[in-house]
Chain A
Amino acid sequence: GAVVSQHPSRVICKSGTSVKIECRSLDFQATTMFWYRQFPKQSLMLMATSNEGSKATYEQGVEKDKFLINHASLTLSTLTVTSAHPEDSSFYICSAHTGTSAYEQYFGPGTRLTVT
């Protein structure tokens, strides 16, 4: 099946610094990628939808200047958490959509961000 990777899997950073998380579709071209935030024992929260070559669409309540998303190619989307704070500590998951079917969406393994 289709594979989506995320890098890094875990990152610890200091408050005030920026962190970049990469999401790659390894064996298919992803026209759309989604970024989620997972809270402990709660549902995934969709943060934004990233379309290749265009600006990301952010969900209500998500600060676009804080969570910068770039979908530069059909296989790579990046999420940059700028000026990170401890409350940004979370599990971030991306998923990639193949475009051939609305149901075909593959999740990455997630990135655990800890801001100290």
Chain B
Amino acid sequence: DQQVKQNSPSLSVQEGRISILNCDYTNSMFDYFLWYKKYPAEGPTFLISISSIKDKNEDGRFTVFLNKSAKHLSLHIVPSQPGDSAVYFCAASGDGQNFVFGPGTRLSVLP
């Protein structure tokens, strides 16, 4: 049973528009969340994190929103750029050290 789910395997967005990537989790003990970006044949790159004491964290074009009651988080990218095309993984942890990863969502930003 997947503890971290990313139900959209792929997403296409026009350049300049907003990209919204969603992630759901089942374990209520998770209190720290990360988003990674991954290009083919490369390791994941850390993007942004959020702890359960917050409901929003912003870093440049990237904003992560956390809804604890719904066990849902989302990553917003505004404005989307072609270089953002990659696979995005969310990951969750209950201790800040051991992380469970979602299956990823492939984002394609169309010029």
Contacts and interface: CB of A to CB of B under 8 A. Distances in A.
A97 to B, nearest CB: 8
A2 to B, nearest CB: 9
A51 to B, nearest CB: 11
A41 B32 contact: yes
Given A41-B49, A91-B99, A112-B97, A105 B87 contact: yes
A112 B98 contact: yes
A109 B93 CA distance: 12
A14 to B, nearest CB: 21
Contact of A40 (B38, B46, B97): B97
Contacts of B98: 91, 110, 112
B103 A1 contact: yes
B100 A34 contact: no
Contacts of A107: 89, 101
B62 interface: no
Interface string B14-37: 000000000000000000101010
A54 interface: no
A15 interface: no
Given A103-B104, A105-B38, 7 more contacts: A34-B43, A40-B96, A40-B97, A41-B96, A44-B43, A46-B42, A103-B87
Interface of B: 32, 34, 36, 38, 40-46, 49, 87, 89, 96-101, 103-104, 106
Interface of A: 1, 34, 36, 38, 40-46, 49, 59, 91, 93, 102-103, 105-107, 109-110, 112
22 contacts: A1-B103, A34-B43, A36-B43, A36-B44, A38-B99, A40-B96, A41-B49, A43-B44, A44-B36, A44-B43, A44-B44, A44-B46, A45-B43, A46-B43, A91-B98, A91-B99, A102-B40, A103-B87, A109-B100, A110-B98, A110-B99, A112-B97
